[in-house]
Amino acid sequence: MFSSTRCAFLSNSGLGGCSSLCDAAQKKRSTRLRVVSMTPSSSSSSRSGDRNGSVVMETPLKELKKESTVADVDDNAISAGGPQDVYGEDRATEDHFVTPWSVSVASGYTLLRDPHFNKGLAFTEDERDAHYLRGLLPPSVIPQETQVKKMIQHVRQYQVPLQKYMAMMDLQERNERLFYKLLIDHVEELLPVVYTPTVGEACQKYGSIFMHPQGLYISLKEKGKIREVLRNWPEKNIQVIVVTDGERILGLGDLGCQGMGIPVGKLSLYTALGGVRPSACLPITIDVGTNNEKLLNDELYIGLKQRRATGQEYAELMHEFMTAVKQTYGEKVLIQFEDFANHNAFNLLEKYRSTHLVFNDDIQGTASVVLAGLVASLKLVGGNLADHRFLFLGAGEAGTGIAELIALETSKQTNAPLEEVRKNIWLVDSKGLIVSSRKDSLQHFKKPWAHEHEPVKNLLDAVNKIKPTVLIGTSGQGRTFTKEVIEAMASINKRPIILSLSNPTSQSECTAEEAYKWSQGRAIFASGSPFPPVEYEGKVFVPGQANNAYIFPGFGLGLIMSGTIRVHDDLLLAASEALAAQVSQENFDKGLIYPPFTNIRKISAHIAANVAAKAYELGLATRLPQPKDLVKFAESCMYTPAYRSYR
Ligand SMILES: O=C([O-])CC(=O)C(=O)O
Ligand SMILES: [Mg+2]
């Protein structure tokens, strides 16, 4: 066995203002970062492999003597003082860091093909000399800003959203920093491309557009070997995992293994909107089969061609996964459950919330973002939460999750028992209004909402009977807020609040235009997927986007930067409060109950700070001492995609 060490020479920090606490952490980290094991690593199992598209090199020893090099250390050094240091401090055993293959330096041709380090034409003259790039690039040196201009034109030339999506994925695979710079600089324009709604279509067609494998696939074939699979992932300091089993992708149903687009998309938002460094993010799809007949009969389907495993077989695989994650990455890695079907989503959250740092975005993230919008909307409609009556269409993860968080906040505000305040919240499912006479046949998560009332068969009747001030769609069923339903809301309320949350756009309960038109311009409207502004009777209405993308990136950052070990409901309330506080008078004047995404990094820093502050207050945060200014600290932790200089 032999090894050698190389240094990463990075001069562009792009970050400043770290506290002394960070400096200490930085010193500790930099020692570790300077070491890059060359080859072979711990055992005879050393091999060549594919590392995010670039072949791991078997570098000859004499090559290693060269002084200048770009080593495989990602962003760690530049964001020293950030969350990764928190993570690095409490690693349980060094065993976590043994990789089964050799890690090598990148230079020349390989450097251009490594998305983590590639800068394309932005490599300077000196860098071209030092890193064997002469002749491999045309002579022009073009700065990152100009590359961004070129790329946005490139993406704009495509008319079809899926083509824009593919152009963005292609860029991510080629030049990661340019991808994030582009996404951050044009966030409003590109969010619908890399995320809802286009990501839904991408998942549906994943088999045919699939070019580079992204993320980690864990199928039933890997049962008993999940720790080994995790070790195959090239990055070791993982801080956030987004995992799906693909059974309920957005409102599109069971897309099996092709659901991978969702963890990939969510994690690119963790980086772009929340500043978590890309190498700390791990997208995972658990493949236990699919019940989607179309996919089972599709020769291009990329997943296991069998029907879904359920019961004990499913539970055992998930348990092995949850255990392996904790063993491999320690207990402060955040596991975000995404787009599981109702039956598994609630059970998994319940089972692991006291042993792991877990968060279900569809239940908790959506709840937090909607609560923020409702709190903000009170400025427009007046009253407190307790003065309002809520009616939901859809009683799954999102519906019951939102309902519970509204009840929790109302109960805190009024000191009334939870059971009492729940009575102001009503849910309609596919069988009609949820009422006490249906209690015996209801799934457990619906039971708290079975209030005393005569049976009501449909939404329109429920609106007329319950007379809600707020109507929330979480049904996954498009166009279910009909003209009659919205007109009924408008006849009951001066300013009806209508939230059409199902994704993607095709599943939205109504469009923005319908909401404004059918309420004669009086609705306060927001939707899960974005809608363009609407002109109605000479006035322009700008709909808000009530999407969990406002919450999870900042929420996750807050947990990571404070070393929080469990998610408590009060942390979700803290996130809502911070988001609602970011809505400005100017936004309200336009009828908006969410701030625009253009300021999302600032918003995320405030959410992270409020979440961390609450975690410290509850004794859940382990990073001590608590930083004095948590907003500044959050900002200092954020990844910036500016190119680094290589010496
Ligand atoms: O992905 C989104 O846009 C929101 C979400 O979590 C879902 O609809 O499942
Ligand atoms: Mg989701």
In DSSP notation, 322-387 reads HHHHHHHH-TT-EEEE-S--HHHHHHHHHHHTTTS-EEEIIIIIHHHHHHHHHHHHHHHH-S-GGG
Question: How many CB atoms sit inside 10 A of residue 41's CB?
Answer: 18
* Contact partners, residue 645, CB within 8 Å, separation at least 6: 10, 11, 12, 124, 127
Are the C-beta atoms of 501 and 472 separated by less than 8 Å?
yes
State if residue 361 touches ligand 1 by the CB under 6 angstroms criterion.
Answer: yes
Whether residue 44 lies inside any domain: the answer is no
Tokens representing 341 are 């079907």
The per-residue pLDDT for 98 is: 52
Domain of 271, CATH number, reads: 3.40.50.10380
Residue 504 preceded by cis peptide, ω within 30 = yes
What is the 20 CA–ligand 1 centroid distance (Å)? 39
9 in Cβ contact with 130 (< 8 Å): no
Pairing of strands 524-527, 534-536: unpaired
Residue 17, in any domain of the structure:
no
Looking at the structure, do residues 186 and 231 belong to the same domain, yes or no?
no
Range of the domain at 579: 550-637
**Is 459 in the same domain as 538?**
yes
Residue 534, strand partner residues: 541
Say whether 266 is catalytic: yes
Contact residues for 319 (Cβ-Cβ < 8 A; gap 6+) = none
CATH code for position 390: 3.40.50.720
Closest CA to 576 of 405, 321, 332, 458: 405
**Can 329 be counted among the known catalytic residues?**
no
Under a CB-based contact definition with an 8 Å cutoff, are residues 454 and 462 in contact? no
Overall domain count for the chain:
4
- Whole-model pTM? 0.88
Torsion sign (Cα): 555, 558, 559, 564: negative
Do both 432 and 560 map to the same domain? Answer: no
118 assigned to a ligand binding site: no
Per the domain annotation, does 621 fall within a domain?
yes
Q: Calculate how far, in angstroms, residue 390's C-alpha sits from the geometric centre of ligand 1.
A: 21
Instruction: Kindly state whether residue 241 falls inside one of the protein's structural domains.
Output: yes
204 and 269 both lie in a single domain: yes
Pocket mutation for ligand 1, best pick of 243, 260, 362, 527 (most atoms within 8 Å of C-beta): 362
User: Residue 357 in contact with residue 332, Cβ under 8 Å?
Assistant: yes
Q: Is residue 49 part of a domain?
A: no
Residue 476 Cα to ligand 1 midpoint, Å, equals 10
* Distance in angstroms (rounded) separating the CA atoms of residues 279 and 75: 8
State which residues of the chain have pLDDT below 50: 1-97
Regarding the beta carbon of 409 and ligand 1, being less than 6 Å apart is answered no
Question: Which tokens in the block code for residue 483?
Answer: 């003209």
Res 210: pLDDT:
77
Residues 600 and 537 grouped into a single domain = no
Residue 362 marked in a binding site? yes
Same domain, 539 and 459: yes
| Co-location of 391 and 265 in the same domain | no
Task: Tell which of 503, 531, 546 closes a domain.
Answer: 546
Are both 518 and 505 inside the same structural domain?
yes
Whether residue 526 sits in one domain with residue 460: yes
Which residue of the set 119, 236, 266, 332 is catalytic? Answer: 266
Per residue in 549-599, pLDDT (tens digit) is 999 999 999 999 999 999 999 999 999 999 999 999 999 998 899 999 999
In a domain, 227, yes or no: yes
Q: Read off the tokens for 66.
A: 């060269």
Last-in-domain residue among 173, 194, 215: 194
Which tokens in the block code for residue 290? 């699919």
Predicted ipTM > 0.95: yes
Domain check: are 188 and 233 in the same one?
no
Mutate to test the pocket of ligand 1, among 269, 339, 500, 594 (most ligand atoms within 8 A of CB): 339
- Which of 334, 360, 386 corresponds to the end of one domain? 360
Contact between 307 and 291 (Cβ < 8 Å):
yes
**69/72 Cα distance (integer angstroms):** 10
Does residue 90 belong to any structural domain of this protein?
no
Measure 362 CA to ligand 2 centroid, in angstroms. Answer: 5
Kindly state whether residues 384 and 489 are assigned to the same domain: yes
Position 388 in a domain: yes
Residue 130 belongs to domain with CATH number: 1.20.1370.30
Q: What is the pLDDT of residue 54?
A: 25
Same domain, 208 and 304: yes
**Residue 404 has what pLDDT?**
98
